[in-house]
Amino acid sequence: MTVSSQVKQTLASLKSAQANLETFALSTQNQKAKNMYTQAAQTTQSIVDELQMRVNELEQQEPQYKGY
Amino acid sequence: MPDWLETALRASLAVVYLFFLAKMIGKRQVSQLTFFEYVVGITIGSLTAQAALVGGVDTLINSMVALLVFALFSLGSAYFSMKNKVFRNIFEGKSTVLVKDGKIMERNLKKERLTIDDLMEQLRMKNAFKLADVEFALMEPNGRVSVLKKTDKQPLNASQIGLDVRRESEPQVVVMDGEIMDEGLATIGFNRHWLHGELEKQGVTLENVFFAQVDSQGKLNLDLYDDKIQMAQPSNLKLTHATLKKCQADLELFALSTKNERMKQLYGEEAQRMQELLEEITPWLNPDAAKKMKKGLDALP
* Cβ contact A18:A48 at 8 Å: yes
Asked if pLDDT for residue B67 goes beyond 60, the answer is yes
Return the pLDDT at B110: 92
Return the pLDDT at B147: 93
pLDDT tens readout for residues B126-166: 999 999 999 999 998 878 899 999 988 888 888 888 877 76
pLDDT tens readout for residues B247-261: 888 888 888 888 888
Q: What is the ipTM of this complex?
A: 0.77
* Cβ contact B32:B142 at 8 Å: yes
* Cβ contact B6:B56 at 8 Å: no
Return the pLDDT at B158: 83
Residues of chain A neighbouring B233 (CB-CB closer than 8 A): 24, 27-28
Distance (Å) from the C-alpha of residue B244 to the closest C-alpha of chain A?
6
Work out the pLDDT band at B300, boundaries 50, 70, 90.
low
Return the SS3 of A18. Answer: helix
Question: Nearest Cα to B186, choosing from B172, B198, B197, B207?
Answer: B172
pLDDT tens readout for residues B10-57: 889 888 988 888 888 776 655 566 677 778 888 888 888 888 887 777
Residues of chain A neighbouring B236 (CB-CB closer than 8 A): 20, 23-24
* C-alpha span between B61 and B64 (Å, rounded): 5
Tally of CA atoms within 13 A in the half-sphere of B235 that contains its CB: 5
Nearest to A24 among B230, B237, B280 (CB): B237
Return the pLDDT at B108: 92
Return the pLDDT at B137: 93
Return the SS3 of A27. Answer: helix
Distance (Å) from the C-alpha of residue A64 to the closest C-alpha of chain B?
19
Distance (Å) from the C-alpha of residue B241 to the closest C-alpha of chain A?
8
Please write down the HEC assignment for all residues of chain B: CCHHHHHHHHHHHHHHHHHHHHHHHCCHHHHCCCHHHHHHHHHHHHHHHHHHHCCCHHHHHHHHHHHHHHHHHHHHHHHHHHHCHHHHHHHHCCCEEEEECCEECHHHHHHCCCCHHHHHHHHHHCCCCCHHHEEEEEECCCCCEEEEECHHHCCCCCCCCCCCCCCCCCCEEEEECCEECHHHHHHCCCCHHHHHHHHHHCCCCHHHEEEEEECCCCCEEEEECCCCCCCCCCCHHHHHHHHHHHHHHHHHHHHHHCCCHHHHHHHHHHHHHHHHHHHHHHHHHCHHHHHHHHHHHHHCC
- Which residues on adjacent β-strands are paired with residue B145? B139
Asked if pLDDT for residue B178 goes beyond 80, the answer is yes
pLDDT tens readout for residues B280-292: 888 777 777 766 6
Distance (Å) from the C-alpha of residue A13 to the closest C-alpha of chain B?
7
Q: State the pTM of this model.
A: 0.46
**Interfacial A residues in 9-48 facing B (CB < 8 Å):** 9-10, 13-14, 16-17, 20-21, 23-24, 27-30, 33, 36-37, 39-40, 43-44, 47
Nearest to A33 among B236, B258, B284 (CB): B284
Chain B positions with Cβ closer than 8 Å to A: 230, 233, 236-237, 239-240, 243-244, 246-247, 250-251, 254, 257-258, 263, 266, 270, 273-274, 277, 280-281, 284
Inter-chain contact B240–A44, Cβ cutoff 8 Å? Answer: no
Which residue has better confidence, B18 or A68?
A: B18
Return the pLDDT at B103: 92
**Other CB atoms within 10 Å distance of the CB of residue A51:** 22
* Cβ contact B231:B224 at 8 Å: yes
Lowest-confidence region among B59-63, B100-104, B226-230: B226-230
Return the pLDDT at B123: 92
Question: Nearest Cα to A56, choosing from A45, A43, A67?
Answer: A67
- Average pLDDT for B82-94: 84
Work out the pLDDT band at B246, boundaries 50, 70, 90.
confident
Return the pLDDT at B135: 93
* C-alpha span between B192 and B131 (Å, rounded): 55
Return the pLDDT at B259: 81
% of chain B residues with pLDDT over 90: 13
Mean pLDDT (chain B) is 83
% of chain B residues with pLDDT over 70: 89
Tally of CA atoms within 13 A in the half-sphere of A23 that contains its CB: 13
Which residue has better confidence, B81 or A63?
A: B81
Return the pLDDT at A27: 72
Return the pLDDT at B233: 53
Residues of chain B neighbouring A54 (CB-CB closer than 8 A): 263, 266
- Which residues on adjacent β-strands are paired with residue B175? B180, B212
Inter-chain contact A47–B233, Cβ cutoff 8 Å? Answer: no
> Which of B275, B284, B286 is most worth mutating to test chain A (most A CB atoms within 10 A of its CB)?
B284
pLDDT tens readout for residues A18-39: 888 888 888 776 777 788 888 8
